[in-house]
Structures are given as structure tokens and as C-alpha cells.
Structure 1
């Protein structure tokens, strides 16, 4: 087996909201997540690199 990395561009983001941020936003204490496509002010998708480890057979 050979291990390497794979880099893919994605526009999907996930941001976990801390307890402090939730309280500052006026939310009840708890766990919150903001998730969805990332766009700029021109409504264009912003591409971010997503890196993952892959394993493949080497012959």
C-alpha cells in the first residue's frame, strides 16, 4: 500500500459556534453549527482546498 494526499477544491464550509459566540448572538446555551456554501459579496462560490489521506495498492 502507498499512502498519499488528495487535494480537492470545495465551496462547502462548516463552522462550529462556541458557547460564548452563541450567547453573544442571543441564542440559548447549546451547540450550534453554521453550514453551507461559501460565497463572496458578488455571490460567486469561493473555492477552498480540502485535503484528505488516501491509500492505494502499489504493484
Structure 2
């Protein structure tokens, strides 16, 4: 749902698929994240599907 939201709102992103890059799981755990998706930008980090916060990335 996060990918679709970002695409539909013309927000560019880079996907890191945990199935294809299992070492990314270690990074997530080191950062203290316990769920996905994790969307990071220069301004903020959003954990979980949060359309209200994702909209802020579009502005």
C-alpha cells in the first residue's frame, strides 16, 4: 500500500525488498524498527503505512 500511495502521489522512492536483500533486516533491527514499511527521507522517518505522514513528503 505504501508503494502504491507513493507512486500515485508522484513521490519518488527507492524500494529495498527484504526478500532480495536480507541484510537490510539487520539494519532495520539495529535502528530499532520492528515493522515495515519504513520510509525514510531527509526530513523524517515513517514506520508503517501512514498516509497522513506520507502526504507530508509530497509537499
Tell me the TM-score normalised to structure 1 length.
0.25
Q: Relative CO higher for 1 or 2, CA cutoff 8 Å, sep ≥ 6? A: 1
1 or 2, which has the higher helix percentage? 2
Tell me the TM-score normalised to structure 2 length.
0.25
Larger radius of gyration between Structure 1 and Structure 2: 1
